[in-house]
A = this chain, B = another copy of it.
Amino acid sequence: MPKVAEILIARGDGFVTEVTGEVMLQFGGFVGDRHFGPTRPSCSRTPWHPRGTPIANTRQISIVSLEECAVVAAEMGVARVYPSWLGANLATKNIADLSALPPSTRILFPSGATLFITEENVPCKYPGKVIAQEYGHPELAGSFVKAALHRRGLLALVEREGLVNTDDKLKLIMPRPRP
């Protein structure tokens, strides 16, 4: 049964998130998270727009899975890679291949709150720096991007508002397959 393993909030300006017990989803994202908002400034993720152009926020929430974090850790040769180090907002468990869920998949929470998956996340260099610092091994910094490719989880927007709690059961609504 897919479940919420951790809820995490980016409170300040830093990349790392911190674990919390519950969160309110509103149109725009996780209430209190620095990525909250209907729009965001274009960044290196969207190089087809000039940097700083206001664009729709389709990266409201970053989702990772404990299973994929464990594979990334094994690939990097470290004991653990925590969702907080990846700046994740939500960590799931019992969804083995989370990153393979296609865009437009919905994730429903018991309250009715719903996430709409917009796209797969692509690893950048920041988590590698965090992991290197945590373990005190600077040479780890460069190995994250390759280790996390197609294991970096998903991005989502809030389709329906509501409360989300740790240990919530998750229901997945998959898009219709094409022939």
Contact = CB atoms under 8 A, between A and B. Distances in A.
Interface of A: 27, 38-39, 42, 48-49, 53-56, 58, 100, 102-104, 106, 108, 112, 114, 116, 118-120, 122, 150, 157-161, 171, 173, 175-176, 178-179
30 contacts: A27-B38, A27-B56, A42-B160, A48-B106, A48-B114, A48-B171, A48-B173, A49-B112, A49-B160, A53-B160, A54-B161, A55-B114, A55-B160, A56-B116, A56-B157, A56-B158, A56-B159, A56-B160, A58-B104, A100-B178, A102-B102, A102-B103, A103-B104, A103-B118, A103-B175, A116-B118, A118-B118, A119-B175, A120-B176, A150-B178
Q: How many copies does the complex hold?
A: 2
Nearest to A48: B173
Contacts of A56: 27, 116, 157-160
Contacts of A122: 176
A106 B56 CA distance: 12
Contacts of A27: 38-39, 56
Given A53-B160, A104-B119, 10 more contacts: A38-B38, A42-B160, A48-B108, A48-B173, A49-B114, A54-B161, A55-B159, A58-B159, A103-B104, A120-B178
Contacts of A171: 48
